[in-house]
Chain A
Amino acid sequence: MAILGLAGASPPSHPPHSVSELLRFSTAGSVDDGKSTLIGRLLHDSRAIPEDQLAALERASRRRGCDRIDLALLTDGLRAEREQGITIDVAYRYFATPRRRFIIADVPGHLQYTRNMVTGCSTADLTVVLIDARQGVAEQTRRHAIIAALLGVPHLVGCVNKMDLVDYDEDVFTAIRDEFGDFAGRLGVADVACIPVSALHGDNVVHRSVATPWYEGPALLEHLEAVELESTRDLVRRRFPVQWIIRGSPALDPRYRAYAGRVEGGIFRPGDEVVALPCGIRTRIRSIDTYDGALGEAFPPLSVAIRLDDELDLGRGGMLVGPDDVPEPRHELDALVCWLGQAPIASGARYLLQHTTRTVRAVVTEIVQRLDINTLVLDPSASALGLNEVGRVRLRLAEPIFPDAYRINRATGAAILIDETTNATVGAVLVTAEGDGWPR
């Protein structure tokens, strides 16, 4: 077998810096909360802002009449953003410590708020919510926490910022921490932390501050380095959506044929019995291949190629699953939809629904309820969802899909809606199930 090999190779010696973990987190909060300053501080104090960017920042800050570097300017990447002094779009930033590599999805606070927040949270392991110490847990704070919870982000961090403006008062922090913790707990977020910081002065961002001797927890960066990473995957229910069929080239391995894809749930091993969907045929895994050799097991989020004992009618859009946990075919979908389109979504509207590697036609049969993301109150009288609104929607599909509940698996429980006339991505779909804890 051509891409096999290297079995029995001696254990590798580690090249320098090669092994660290990756944490993706999103940051929520408006400019007024000091979010950009916090990110700037995190990057600056962990020495992740290169000198040329710093020099450009200095020039830009001076042009805008600031006498010191305005770290907030670092995150405004587009011309329109700098011209208008607003942040339009999610920006991705990167930094590393010896222990972890970080990807920040930096979500702007004002325009297209929900849309950007949903985008940023969809891939996040953790969300940092900025809270102004002078304002306490505001409506906006609740909204941030709610969206992060809906999107299944397992770790939530409340950064109580501008502690310098409340004289680093422990009582102020404690009151906010209790209220935020209580609120986030009721949303079902698994892990909630609260940290008193001053982004402007750097207190408890990278280094613990002497200004808060009453605070015994970690600085923000320490927390980001220590938080447990394992909770966003489902390692139980086996899910392998087929992306692509690899056929060996005549020159390399003409008889080779394998199903290529990414493991989205469970652990697959050679010899395992699997069920191929949609045909429902049972077969066994002959081997799990990679360019670097065959694997003894494959788990999320590895990209592999699977060969089966039998030749099947299985192509892109199909899925290999474990025989004990076969998902039900669904022609009707009950889902939470975050609406991202300019024109509202209403009964009778038709879209394309893209779920894993399968795209089907969908028609909206009912707008069940609109969810007020400030209060979590459900409005059953709603007949449409406008831009940046969230609601429960029923969809009928032209062909079945095999989803899991989003609460169980973020990859197989999620879908997007595409407007066929504009090709725009107009909806984020989170599949719901009975008793999954979402409001009904």
Chain B
Amino acid sequence: MSRRRGDGILPATALFRAELGGPAAGSPDGRDGPGRRAGRHLLSHLAVLEAEAIHIFREAAAVFDRPALLFSGGKDSLLLLRLAEKAFRPGRFPFPVLHVDTGHNFPEVLDFRDRRVAELGEELIVASVQASIDRGRVCEEPGPDPSRNRLQTVTLLDAIAEHGFDALFGGGRRDEEKARAKERIFSHRDAFGQWDPRNQRPELWSLYNGRLRKGEHMRVFPISNWTELDVWQYIAVERLEVPSIYFAHRRTVVRRGGLWLAVSDFIHPRDGEEVATRTVRYRTVGDMSCTGAVFSSARTVDEVIAEVAAARVTERGATRADDAFSEAAMEDRKREGYF
């Protein structure tokens, strides 16, 4: 798929290689070629991260029989789609796109998902948490305004079994959370979908070991080494469209569990809770029932970049009720097979 031309979109690789200054000469042993201006063959950090992600995508596509790309509608999975285009176009993606639909999504995000997948002309598989509940595979959590965050692990693992997926691309990043900081790029899951953080395969150079036994699968994280700021810078360079809820908008929110949750069909204010209409945006996109908004006036990608660059709280810390359970909440959910 070619990019539209003449509309001012710039070739990213050219941009990345733009005058990086750098030290004057090649190394003394002549490895870089004598007389060559070293600066010419330097790459920006985004170009290096992009090249690494493309390499990971192609490795996984080559060694696994039936991969799928986990797509949430969030910026990280949108980034994955762009990187997959970079890895495989003008061919088709050698995998479908898989969305685990909790039924608690932001409507803006679902619209966006459908439009983006249609533009790409790729296959979309939707695995529904509601269907898992209807089939009796899981039960809705008791009490008002239940979160379906934990339930989606079952739906995900059922989808893996049903479709025979042996690898799932995910948008996880190591800067997000401390258990993720130790996770491999090819991250092994046993036949029960579980991660064993104490028994991970050593991952050396960029040689990824994709060997599996029957029933096991791999989670593959092409953007492991990206930070939130890198993601936004790349969105800027690539002029990637992201759902509108990432930018400042007016919304009625309720203070609960230290977060500002959107008042919606899934979140009903209770007596004594503070309700306000504020200008907010989202730093992450998860369920409406557990993703908090941040107060922000950032209406453009550049304004978001400025905000993220100055941010003093991690994106998960600012916005996720699901990680606030305990010091090891993410690790525990990952062990069970979560994203």
10 further interface pairs, Cβ-Cβ under 8 Å (given A18-B46, A231-B31, A252-B89): A17-B229, A18-B237, A21-B22, A22-B48, A77-B181, A92-B182, A230-B38, A235-B31, A247-B91, A292-B13
Sampled A-B contacts (10; CB under 8 Å): A5-B2, A15-B305, A77-B181, A79-B327, A244-B88, A252-B90, A261-B58, A290-B13, A303-B87, A416-B204
Chain A-chain B contacts (Cβ-Cβ < 8 Å), number: 275
Closest-by-CB residue of B relative to A295 is B13
Known A-B contacts A243-B58, A262-B55, A291-B85; the reply to A416 vs B209 at CB < 8 A is yes
Contacts A79-B328, A425-B201 given; indicate if A50 touches B207 (C-beta within 8 A). no
Q: Give the docked Cα–Cα distance between A120 and B48 (Å).
A: 18
- Indicate whether B15 reaches chain A with its CB closer than 8 angstroms: yes
* CB pair A230 B23 closer than 8 Å: yes
Other-chain contact of A414, B51, B202, B207, B236 (Cβ < 8 Å): B207
Q: In residues 230-247 of chain A, which contact B (Cβ within 8 Å)?
A: 230-231, 233-236, 243-244, 246-247
Q: Which of B142-150, B162-170, B242-250, B313-321 sits within the interface? A: B313-321
Question: Are B11 and A78 neighbours in the complex by a CB distance under 8 Å?
Answer: no
Assess whether A301 is in contact with B205, with CB atoms less than 8 Å apart.
no
Which chain B residues lie closer than 8 Å to A19 at the CB level?
16, 18, 20, 44, 46
Taking a contact as CB atoms closer than 8 A, the residue among A89, A291, A424 that contacts B182 in the complex is A89
The chain A residue sitting closest to B49, CB to CB, is A22
Q: Does B62 reach chain A (CB closer than 8 Å)? A: yes
Establish whether residues A50 and B317, one from each chain, have CB atoms under 8 Å apart when the complex forms: yes
Q: What 1/0 flags go to A239-280 for Cβ under 8 Å of B?
A: 000011011110111001000111000010000000000000
User: Is A282 part of the contact surface with B, judged by Cβ < 8 Å?
Assistant: no
In this complex, the interface size class of chain B, counting residues with CB under 8 Å from chain A, is: 35 or more
Which A residues lie within 8 Å of B225 (CB)? 92, 94, 103
How far is B32's CA from A231's CA once the two chains are assembled, in angstroms?
Answer: 8
A262 to B54, CA, bound (A): 9
A254's nearest neighbour on chain B, judged by CB, is B90
Q: Of the 9-residue stretches A25-33, A51-59, A170-178, which lies at the interface with chain B?
A: A51-59
Q: Which residues of B contact A210 (CB under 8 A)?
A: none
Complex CA–CA separation, A80 to B327 (angstroms): 12
B306 to chain A, nearest CB (A): 7
Contact of B90 among A56, A93, A190, A253 (CB under 8 A): A253
Residues of A within 8 A of B205 (CB): 122-123, 410-411, 414, 416
Among residues 2 to 18 in chain A, which have CB atoms less than 8 Å away from a CB atom of chain B?
2-6, 9, 11-12, 14-18
Main secondary structure of the interface of A (DSSP, over half): loop
Which residues on B sit within 8 Å (CB–CB) of A230?
Answer: 22-23, 26-27, 31-32, 38, 41-42
Tell whether, in the assembled complex, residue B51 and residue A233 are in contact, meaning their CB atoms are under 8 Å apart.
Answer: no
Which of A101, A229, A236 is B30 in contact with, Cβ under 8 Å? A236
Within A83-108, which residues are at the interface with B (CB < 8 Å)? 88-94, 96, 100-101, 103
Within residues 111 to 146 of chain A, which ones have a CB less than 8 A from any CB in chain B? 115, 118-119, 122-123
Specify the chain A residue showing the minimal Cβ separation from B52.
A301
A425:B305 contact, CB within 8 angstroms: no
**Interface residue from A3, A22, A123 paired with B2 (Cβ < 8 Å):** A3
How many residues of chain A have a CB within 8 Å of chain B? 94
CB within 8 Å of B: which A173-200 residues: 190
Q: A6-B3, A94-B174, A418-B209 are in contact. Are A302 and B43 (CB under 8 A)?
A: yes
Whether B233 lies near A243 (C-beta < 8 A) is no
Query: A381: CB under 8 A from chain B?
Result: no
A119 touches B202 (CB 8 A): yes
The verdict on A316 contacting chain B, using a C-beta distance below 8 Å, is yes
Chain A 31-72 interface 0/1 with B at a Cβ cutoff of 8 Å (1 = within): 000000000000000000011110010001000000000000
Residue contact B14 to A92, C-beta cutoff 8 Å: no
Residue-wise interface mask of B (1-36) relative to A, using a CB-CB cutoff of 8 A (1 in contact, 0 not) = 111010001111111101010110011001111001
CA distance A249 to B211 in the complex (A): 29
Tell me whether B62 and A243 are in contact (CB under 8 A): yes
Known: A94-B175, A425-B201. A415 touches B45 (CB 8 A): no
B310 to chain A, nearest CB (A): 10
Q: Does B61 contact A (CB under 8 A)?
A: yes
A414 to B13, CA, bound (A): 28
CB distance from B32 to the nearest CB of A (A): 5
State the Cβ distance, A5 to closest chain B Cβ, in Å.
5
User: In whole angstroms, how far apart are the Cα atoms of A94 and B318 in the complex?
Assistant: 18
Bound form: Cα–Cα A77–B92 in Å: 38
Residues of B contacting A234 with CB < 8 Å?
31
Residue A209 at the B interface, CB < 8 A?
no
Indicate if the CB atoms of A244 and B61 lie closer than 8 Å: yes
A299 within 8 A of B: yes
